[in-house]
Amino acid sequence: QVQLQESGPGLVKPSQTLSLTCTVSGGSISTGSYYWSWIRQTAGKGLEWVGRIYPSGSTNYNPSLKSRVTISLDTVKNQFSLKLSSVTAADTAVYYCARDRFFAAPHSYYYYVDVWGKGTTVTVSS
């Protein structure tokens, strides 16, 4: 079965860029049926969707983070990555990489996340 593993620095200084990578095992990231996403959870708060990428390279980002987020794919390494620029303490969170299913019907959308990574904690502090 598909497994996801996040990796990257656990500490980032304010104003710098947070960079995380998700390694996908047990399946190809190029499979056209799935999106590859980043979701975060800040302390004491719920889940916040950061954004996602489709194997074609098409991306969707959270409107509140869009100006600072870049998600990319590396099909050779079977990985996808997150870059979040100009970070502040508010970006301190557990970051999860995930695989989601998405279908657009005429008047509604089907969306769910069927595989999650275990998450990695990123602290923004000087």
Partner 1 sequence: QSVLTQPPSVSAAPGQKVTISCSGSSSNIGNNYVSWYQHLPGTAPKLLIYDNNKRPSGIPDRFSGSKSGTSATLGITGLQTGDEADYYCGTWDSSLSAVFGGGTKLTVL
Nearer to partner 1, 4 or 82 (CB): 4
Q: Which of 16, 21, 78, 113 binds partner 1 (CB under 8 A)?
A: 113
What number of H helices and E strands is found in the chain?
Answer: 0, 11
Q: Which of 7, 62, 70, 78 binds partner 1 (CB under 8 A)?
A: 62
Q: Buried (b) or exposed (e) across 15-42, using 16+ Cβ within 10 A? A: eeebbbbbbbeeeebeeeebbbbbbbee
Nearer to partner 1, 15 or 42 (CB): 42
Q: Which of 37, 79, 81, 120 binds partner 1 (CB under 8 A)?
A: 37
